[in-house]
Structure 1
Amino acid sequence: MSSSPPGVVNAVLARGKLGTPTLVFFVMAAAAPLTVVAGGATTGWAVTGVPGIPVAYLAVAAVLGLFSVGFVAMSRRIVNAGAFYTYVAQGLGKPAGVGASFVAVAGYNAMQIGLYGGFGVVLSGFLADRGINAPWWLCAYAAWAIIALLGVLRIDMNGKILAVMLIAEIGIALVYDAVMVTHPADSTVTFDTLAPSHLLAAGIGAALVTAITGFVGFEATTVLGEEARDPRRTVARATYIAVAVIGLLYGLSAWAMSVATGPDRVVDAATEQGTDLMFNLVSPYVWSEAVTIGRVLFITSLFAALLSFHHTVARYLFALGRERVLPSVLGRTSRRTLAPVAGSLTQTAIAAAVLAGYVWTGADPLVHLFFWITVTGGLGVLILMTVTSVAVVAFFAKRRHDENPWRAAIAPALAALILAAILVVTVQQFDILLGVDPTSSLRWLFPAGYAAAAFLGMFWAQYLRRARPEVYDAIGLGVEAETLPHRQGQPARLPA
C-alpha cells in the first residue's frame, strides 16, 4: 500500500497527455521567441559588438540539429523526466549522471529565476507608460504567484495556455519582420549580417553562447517525454521541429532588424535603444495598436518562458526524488492532476527566496538578475549538451543495438567536438558576456559554480554507493527502478 499522504502518489506523471503540437508549444515557449528577438538579439549586439548575431543563430541551430541526432536516438530507448541526467548516468556512469543532475538543477533554475528580472522590469515599464506605478519586484511576484498555481495543475491545460501565447508572438514577430525588410535602411536590402565570416570575428564566443541561450528549452522534449503520447516518436518529431522553427525565426528576425538599421549601424542602434529597437523600427509604418500588441506579447513571451522552465525544473526534481537521489518527497505527484507537486512547490520556494535577495540588496534586476543569471543558465545547458553528446557515444558503444553509425557515433561525436569548442571559447570570453573587466573574479565565479555543482553531485553519488546501495542501483533508471530485485523484496547488491 502506498505511504503517500492523501492526494498524492509516487513515481507517476500524467501519461499520454501531450501530442507533438503541444510538446512543440512547450519547448518553443521556453525558448520565448519574441523575448529572444526583441531582447536577446539586441542584447547580443550591444554586449558583444558582433554584427553577425543573425548568422550566429543559424550556426547554433545547425549545431543543435546535429546534437539532436544522438539525443533523439537516446530518447527512443530511454523515456525519463530526468533527460540529461538519465542519459549521462546510463552512458558515462552513475556518478557522472548525478553530477550532471546537479548542474541541470542549477542551470534550469538560473534560467527560470533570471527571467523574473526581465519580466518585472518590462511589465513595470509598460504599466508606468500608462500611469500605473508598480515596482519591478511586485510585477515579478505577481507572475510568481500565477506560475505557482499553474505549476500544480494539469500539464495539458498549461500546454493550451502556452499554445495561444506562442502562436500570437510568432505571428507578430513575422509581421514585424515583413515591415522591417520592406523598409530597409538606405533603401537597400543587404545580407551582410548573415555572412559566415562573422563566425571568425573577435567576441564570437560570447555571441554564440548568447545565441545558445535563446535555444535553451528545446531539449525539454525529453523531460516531458513521460507525459507524451507515443514518446519514442513524439519526442523526436517535436525536437527537430522546435530546433528548425526556432533557428529560422531567430535568424530571420535578427537579420530583418539589421536590414532596417543598416548592418554597419545595428550594434550602435541596439546599444542605444536596447529592447525598444524592434518596436521603434516598425512604429512609423504600422498602427500604434500593433506596437502595443507587440509589447504586450513581449511580456507574455517572458511569462510563457517562466512557466515552461518552471515545469522543467519541477520534473528534474521529481526524477531525482523518485529515485531517492534527493528526498523522496520530491517524487510525489498529485493524485488528481498527476503534476509533480513537491518539485513544483520547491522550485517556487527557491524562486521566492532568490527574488527576495535581489530586492533586499537592491541589485539591478535587468543586468544582475535577467542578463547575468539567464546567460549563466545557458552556460549550464551548454555544459550538459556537451557531456550528453559524449554519453550518447559511450551508451551505444557499450551495447548491442540496431542504430546506424551516423546516429550512434558520428553525429554525437561531431556535436561533442563542436559544443566543446564553443564551451571553451565561451568560458574564455565570459567577461565579455558579463560586461566586466577581464581581471574580474566574476568571469570565473559563475563557471566555477557549475564545476562545484558537478563535483558535489559526484561526491553524493559515491556516498550513496556506500551508504545506500539500493538507491545507487536505481540511479538513472526512473520507473524501471521498480524492477530491481531490492525493490521487489530481494536484497540489494552493491554494483561493481
Structure 2
Amino acid sequence: MSTRTLSGTLGVGSIVFMVVAAAAPLTVIAGTVPLGLAAGNGAAFPTTFALCMGVLLLFAVGFCAMSRHVPNAGAFYSYVQRGLGRAPGLGAAFLALVTYTAVQLAVFGYIGAVIDGLVQHWGGPALPWWVWSLVVLAVVGVLGYRHIELSGRVLGVLLVAEVAIVIVFDVVVAATGGGGTGQLSTAFLQPSQVVSGSLGIAIMFAIASFIGFEATAVFRDEARDPERTIPRATYTALLLIGVFYTLSSWAVVSAWGDAAAVEAAGADPGNMIITTITTVLGPIGGDVAQVLLMTSLFAAILSFHNVLARYWFALGNARSVFAACGRSHAKHGSPHVASLTQSGIALFFIVVFALAGMDPVAQVFAWMAGTATLGVLALMALTCTAVLVFFRSTRADTRAWHTLVAPALGLVGLLACLALTVANFPTLIGGSPALAAAIGAVLVLAFAVGALWSRRPATETIPAGGVA
C-alpha cells in the first residue's frame, strides 16, 4: 500500500555525497576549468571559484536560517511559497522542474559521448550516443525507484573515487613544484590578473559549476535530524565543492605554467585535463581518469534524478500535479511514481534529441547546461528574496546577520551573477542570440505557467508534516 511520506535516516555525510555528486567535481575540472582559463580571466580563474563560493555562502546563511521554518521537502518551491505566496511558489516549482530536467539532459548527452569514446578506445563498436544514454537511464531509473539509501551508497563510492584521483593529482603537482614546471602559479593572488580578460564570463562559468549544492533541502523528509542535518549538509557541501574547485584548478594551471595553461585550454579544451593528468600521473592515471569522468557523469545524473523525483513528489502531495506523484512506495519508502515520471520525461527528450540528430556535446550539453545555469540563478535570487520577506514579516528569527544582512548581500551577488549570465548567455550555450532568447523565454514561460496554475482552487489541504 502506498503512502504520502518518504522514509530514511540520511545523515550529513549521505546528503553531502548526494549533492556534491550532482555538482560532478571531476566533470567540472575536465569541462569548465579549460573554458574558464581560455575564455575567462586566464590563469587567475581559480580565484573566481572562491569569489562565487563567497556569494553562495551568503545565500546559504539565509537558506539555512529559514530551513527550520519550512518543514517541507520542496526546497526552492517551499521556500518561495512560504515567503512570497502561492503563485510565485508554484512558479518557482515549475521553473525548478525545467531547470533540473535541463541539467540532467545535458549530462545524459555528455555521458553518451564519453561512453562511446571509451568503448571505441577499448576496441568496441561505434554506436550512437543515445544508445548509451538510454542504458544509463535504465540503471538510474532502477536506483531512483528503490530506497534512497541505495542511491546514497552508490553515489558515495563513485564520488570518493573521482575526488581521490584529482586530490592525488593536486598533491603531486604541489609536492613537485608544479608537476615539472618548477614553479607553482601565483596568478590567483594578483588582483590585476583576477580582473584581466573577461571576468564576467569567468564568473558565469564558475557559478554554473556549483549547481546542485542547494538541493540539500529536498532530502528533508529522509534526513535523520532535518533541523540540524540540512544546514550542516548545505555548508559542508558548499565548502567542499568550493575549496576543491579552487585548489584543483590552481593545480591544473601550475602543472602547465600560467601562459602555457591558457594556451593549452584554448587549443584543446576537451582533452586538456586528461592530458594533464596523464602527464603528471602517467598513462595509467590518464586511463583511470577517463573512466572516472564517466562515473562522475553517472553520479550527477543519479543525483539530479533523485532531486527531480522529490520535486514531483512535493507537487503531487500538494495536488499541483497528478496526485499519484505524491505517493511513496510501501516497501522502499521512495517517491516511486515521481521517479518513474521523471524517467519517462528524460526518455522522451533523449528520443527527441536523437531523432533531431543533435550533437550530444555541442548542442545537447551546451544548450541544456546553459538553460540550467540561468534557471538556478533565478531560483536562488527568488529564494533570497523570499527569505528576506519571510523574516521581515514574521519576525520568527531576529538575528540580523542570518535574516537580513547575509541574505541581502547574497541577493546582490546573485543578481550580479544573473546579469552577467544573461549578458554572456550566447557564449555559454555556444549558440546565437536568437537561441539564447528562445531559451530565456522557455524559462519565463515555465514560471508564468506555474504562477497561473496556482490560481486553481486547492482540492485538499496538506498537513504540516506533508508538503504544502
Q: Please give the TM-score of this superposition, normalised by the length of structure 2.
A: 0.95
Q: CA–CA distance in 2 between the matches of 1:330 and 1:318?
A: 5
Deviation at 1:217, TM superposition (A): 1.0
Match of 1:33 in 2: 25
Q: CA–CA distance in 1 between the matches of 2:441 and 2:188?
A: 33
Report % sequence identity.
38
Match of 1:458 among 431, 451, 455: 451
Match of 1:236 in 2: 231
C-alpha spacing 1:224/1:195, structure 2 compared with 1 (3 Å): farther
Asked if the contact 2:181–2:254 (Cα under 8 Å) also holds between the matched residues in 1, the reply is no
C-alpha spacing 1:168/1:403, structure 2 compared with 1 (3 Å): farther
Asked if the contact 1:219–1:239 (Cα under 8 Å) also holds between the matched residues in 2, the reply is yes
Deviation at 1:185, TM superposition (A): 6.5
| Matching of residue 8 in structure 1 with residue 36 in structure 2 | no
Q: Which one-letter code corresponds to 1:250 in the other structure?
A: Y
| Matching of residue 143 in structure 1 with residue 111 in structure 2 | no
Q: CA–CA distance in 1 between the matches of 2:157 and 2:347?
A: 27
Match of 1:434 among 422, 429, 432: 429
Q: Which one-letter code corresponds to 1:55 in the other structure?
A: T
Match of 1:122 in 2: 114
Q: CA–CA distance in 2 between the matches of 1:371 and 1:191?
A: 31
1:216-242 Cα distance to aligned partner (Å, 9 max, x none): 111111011110011000111111111
Deviation at 1:384, TM superposition (A): 0.6
Match of 2:67 in 1: 75
| Matching of residue 479 in structure 1 with residue 433 in structure 2 | no
Deviation at 1:275, TM superposition (A): 3.3
Match of 2:104 in 1: 112
Match of 1:177 in 2: 170
1:373-416 Cα distance to aligned partner (Å, 9 max, x none): 12211221111111100100101111132441111111111101
| Matching of residue 353 in structure 1 with residue 348 in structure 2 | yes
Q: CA–CA distance in 2 between the matches of 1:108 and 1:431?
A: 20
SS at match of 2:69: coil
SS at match of 1:55: helix
Q: Please give the TM-score of this superposition, normalised by the length of structure 1.
A: 0.90
| Matching of residue 53 in structure 1 with residue 45 in structure 2 | yes
C-alpha spacing 1:196/1:305, structure 2 compared with 1 (3 Å): farther
Deviation at 1:327, TM superposition (A): 1.2
Q: CA–CA distance in 2 between the matches of 1:179 and 1:480?
A: 48
Match of 2:392 in 1: 397
Deviation at 1:454, TM superposition (A): 1.0
1:41-85 Cα distance to aligned partner (Å, 9 max, x none): 123334547443211111111111111000001112213221110
Q: Pairwise mapping of residues 22-421 of structure 1 onto structure 2 (< 5 A)?
A: 22-48=14-40, 50-133=42-125, 134-181=127-174, 182=176, 183-184=178-179, 186-197=181-192, 200-201=195-196, 203-421=198-416
Q: Which one-letter code corresponds to 2:284 in the other structure?
A: E
1:462-489 Cα distance to aligned partner (Å, 9 max, x none): 2x1xxx2445x65x966165xxxxxxxx
Q: CA–CA distance in 2 between the matches of 1:56 and 1:477?
A: 41
SS at match of 1:34: helix
Asked if the contact 2:277–2:285 (Cα under 8 Å) also holds between the matched residues in 1, the reply is no
1:2-32 Cα distance to aligned partner (Å, 9 max, x none): xxxxx422x20114x2011111111111111
Of 21-30 and 196-205, deviating more is 196-205
Of 211-220 and 175-184, deviating more is 175-184
Asked if the contact 2:187–2:193 (Cα under 8 Å) also holds between the matched residues in 1, the reply is no
Match of 1:489 in 2: none
Q: Which one-letter code corresponds to 1:442 in the other structure?
A: L
1:354-383 Cα distance to aligned partner (Å, 9 max, x none): 111111111111111112212211221111
Deviation at 1:196, TM superposition (A): 4.1
Asked if the contact 1:100–1:457 (Cα under 8 Å) also holds between the matched residues in 2, the reply is yes
1:139-169 Cα distance to aligned partner (Å, 9 max, x none): 1111111001111011011101111111111
C-alpha spacing 1:429/1:284, structure 2 compared with 1 (3 Å): closer
Deviation at 1:184, TM superposition (A): 4.8
Q: CA–CA distance in 2 between the matches of 1:286 and 1:201?
A: 31
C-alpha spacing 1:198/1:64, structure 2 compared with 1 (3 Å): farther
Asked if the contact 2:179–2:280 (Cα under 8 Å) also holds between the matched residues in 1, the reply is no
SS at match of 1:219: helix
Indicate the RMSD between aligned Cα atoms, in angstroms: 1.9
SS at match of 1:398: helix
The alignment of Structure 1 onto Structure 2 pairs a total of residues equal to: 465
- Give 5+ residue unaligned stretches, structure 1: 1-6, 482-496
1:400-455 Cα distance to aligned partner (Å, 9 max, x none): 32441111111111101110111012101112212335xx3112222222111111
Q: CA–CA distance in 2 between the matches of 1:234 and 1:277?
A: 38
Deviation at 1:202, TM superposition (A): 5.3
Asked if the contact 1:86–1:477 (Cα under 8 Å) also holds between the matched residues in 2, the reply is no
